[in-house]
Amino acid sequence: MGEVRARTGRRILLGLLLAACSVGIVVAPSAFAQDEGTTPGADDQVVLTGELLVPDDATVATAVILNGDATIEGTATESVVVFNGDVEISGPAG
């Protein structure tokens, strides 16, 4: 009886290991297929919390802040994204 339980336990463990490996094989390629254009560049400004400021004489492509206010006095050439905060734009827009 103990030998049957041990075999059943090993089969369950082997099945779970096989399922985990299968999920890893299916999910992993999408992580490697990321487009290089989706990572922040040298001309992007990303702030998690605090204040985002683009000064008068500065230019950024994209400005993103997740928790706080953004002040754009300079130029943002692509987009400005603000979550949970206010945005004030006094520089060129459009």
Q: Please state, rounded to an integer, the average pLDDT across all residues of the chain.
A: 81
- Domain residue extents for the chain: 2-33, 38-89
pLDDT at residue 65 in the model: 93
Give me the mean pLDDT over the 52-57 stretch.
93
Q: Is the pLDDT of residue 34 over 60?
A: no
Rounded to a whole number of angstroms, the distance between the first and last alpha carbons of the chain is 76
CA atoms within 13 A of residue 24's CA, in its CB half-sphere = 6
Calpha distance 52→55 (Å, rounded)? 10
3-state secondary structure the chain: CHHHHHHHHHHHHHHHHHHHHHHHHHHHHHHHCCCHHHCCCCCCEEEEEEEEEECCCCEEEEEEEEEEEEEECCEEEEEEEECCCCEEECCCCC
pLDDT at 32: 55
pLDDT of 22 reads 73
By mean pLDDT, which of 40-44, 46-50, 53-57 is the weakest?
40-44
The reported pLDDT for the residue numbered 88 is 94
**Is the Cβ–Cβ distance between 68 and 49 less than 8 Å?**
yes
* pLDDT over 80 (residue 89): yes
Do residues 91 and 73 make contact, with C-beta atoms less than 8 angstroms apart? yes
pLDDT (0 to 100) of residue 12: 85
